[in-house]
Amino acid sequence: MIQTTKMASGQQWVLVEMVQAFYEAPAYHLILEGILILWIIRLLFSKTYKLQERSDLTEKEKEELIEEWQPEPLVPAVSNDHPSLNYDVVTGPPSHKITVNGKECINFASFNFLGLLDNERVKQKALASLKKYGVGTCGPRGFYGTFDVHLELEERLAKFMKTEEAIIYSYGFATIASAIPAYSKRGDIVFVDEAACFSIQKGLQASRSFIKYFKHNDMEDLERLLKEQELEDQKNPRKARVTRRFIVVEGLYMNTSDICPLPELVKLKYKYKVRIFLEESMSFGVLGEHGRGVTEHFGVSIDDIDLISANMENAVASIGGFCCGRSFVIDHQRLSGQGYCFSASLPPMLASAAIEALNIMEEDPEIFTILREKCKHAHKALQDIPGLKVVGEAFAPALHLQLEHSTGSRESDVRTLRSIIDYCLDRQIALTQARYLDKEERFLPPPSIRVVVTVEQTEEEIEKATSCIREAALARLE
């Protein structure tokens, strides 16, 4: 109590003294202090730079800049002799016999593996559908673009693949390219084979996830990346709990014609808890006893693969693509698959054609054995062509023939291969080069001739084609 009064009186005394000093101080002192205080306030509130110093452009200067700016042309000029500017023209159906640039040839170029493109049954079914539904669907699936044939096809595909659910897309390319970004988002991690085809690359780009490429079919390299990721995860377990991971591989690789080591991939899947997306455009309707693809080929349970995607434009010889798997996974695409939600649905006649193709495949699984035999035959016959090497598995229906020794420049390699193709075209064998966008591909495959084997080709025709290629190679590659 006493202390507080003392303190209070002490403070009072200081205050009185201050006021007294203020009175007594000379005027110049007060003025100086006042100026100093104002200066401090000014320093506190003024900006660090002067507004006048900012070089704002005047309207006139802006106009000048706009006047000056010259954009690049919309597209660079393409020279008239660009190798891919003038397409080969096909008149009539691109089936077993094909007319290329007015010349009738045996088709070794179209992915019509099972010869269903001009199958009479498929055509009749499609025509019936056309006469019932017309051509287009005039809307996306959500808005009266769902037809009973779409539902039937989805059901049939699911049954064929022995999965819970299937979803169809109206464009093969858009299938995997829409499916990947439906699941994998920014911050997620995708492990991809270097040889992955272009539509996978585009899907990955759209997903904005972290992409880690492993060497083609190199499981050790994949495991190295997975281990690296595991260490990373241990450092930041909170982030790891929400980071989805995926492995994206192809069944039969479009670009290399070899098969992915699926059993090892499944082992890695469970070891590192990564989901597997499998793109089977080349293997669906080709591999396995019933044409179910790589899973059947290796005897891997289809439930171990989280998502299988394939197009119906190769073996099925229609248009469009599908994804299949468990409902838990697939159903999500019905609201999140961009190519599914925002695009018009598949024309019903093409869905009907696909259904009939499935019927044929189910009725006669022998067809896959025949295809495999023919592939083996072609693969063997193509060995030891001087200057050319065969790339791909013996059972792959679309093989690549690459130059054994590159001339050094891609351009001249392409020209050499084209001359071989022209030589064969003149002798009624239709072949084509595998085409890529050189600047867009992540890992550009070497130039190659594609040789496609179908069930319709006879042994003699395969013999003829291979000997023709051999002659061409001898003639064109010194």
According to CB under 8 A, which residues from 47 to 86 bind another protein?
Answer: 57, 62, 65-66, 69-78, 82, 84-85
* Residue 131 binds to another protein (criterion: CB under 8 A): yes
Closer residue to another protein, CB minimum distance, 199 or 309: 199
Per DSSP (E only), the strands in 225-312 are 245-250, 275-279, 307-311
Which residue, among 197, 247, 256, has the nearest Cα to 226 in the 3D structure? Answer: 247
- With CB under 8 A as the contact rule, the residue among 34, 136, 187, 386 that binds another protein is 136
- How many CA atoms, within 13 angstroms, populate the side-chain half-sphere of residue 16? 6
What one-character-per-residue DSSP string does 289-306 give? TTS--HHHHHT--GGGSS
Residues 266-285 that bind another protein (CB under 8 A): 270, 273-275
Contacts of 415 (CB under 8 A, 6+ apart): 83
Residues 414-473 that bind another protein (CB under 8 A): 430, 432-437, 440, 450
Residues 289-308 that bind another protein (CB under 8 A): 303
Min separation Cβ 353 and another protein, Å: 4
Looking up tokens 């439906």, which residue turns up? 182
Pair 191, 226: CB distance under 8 Å: yes
Give the CA dihedral 375, 376, 379, 382, nearest 10 degrees. -110
x/- mask, another protein, residues 151-180, rule CB under 8 A, reads x------------------xxxxx------
How many residues touch another protein (CB under 8 A)?
Answer: 118
- With CB under 8 A as the contact rule, the residue among 97, 103, 118, 121 that binds another protein is 118
* Residue 313 binds to another protein (criterion: CB under 8 A): yes
Burial 130-152 (b: 16+ CB within 10 A, else e): beebeeebeebbeeebebebbee
The DSSP symbol for 56 reads P
Closer residue to another protein, CB minimum distance, 205 or 428: 205
The widest CA-to-CA distance across the chain, in whole angstroms, is 124
Pair 104, 97: CB distance under 8 Å: yes
CA 18 from centroid of its chain's CA atoms:
81
* Interhelix angle 348-363/148-161, nearest 10 degrees: 30
- With CB under 8 A as the contact rule, the residue among 158, 160, 163, 183 that binds another protein is 183
* Residue 145 binds to another protein (criterion: CB under 8 A): yes
Min separation Cβ 323 and another protein, Å: 14
Residues 211-250 that bind another protein (CB under 8 A): 240-245
Closer residue to another protein, CB minimum distance, 37 or 127: 127
Min separation Cβ 126 and another protein, Å: 5
Closer residue to another protein, CB minimum distance, 14 or 74: 74
The two structure tokens encoding residue 367: 């067809």
Pair 387, 401: CB distance under 8 Å: no
Contacts of 448 (CB under 8 A, 6+ apart): 391, 400, 401, 402, 417, 433, 434
* Residue 132 binds to another protein (criterion: CB under 8 A): yes
Min separation Cβ 217 and another protein, Å: 22
- With CB under 8 A as the contact rule, the residue among 344, 360, 370, 394 that binds another protein is 344
* Residue 400 binds to another protein (criterion: CB under 8 A): no
Closer residue to another protein, CB minimum distance, 16 or 151: 151
Min separation Cβ 308 and another protein, Å: 15
Pair 377, 150: CB distance under 8 Å: no
Min separation Cβ 56 and another protein, Å: 11
Residues 346-365 that bind another protein (CB under 8 A): 346-347, 349-350, 353
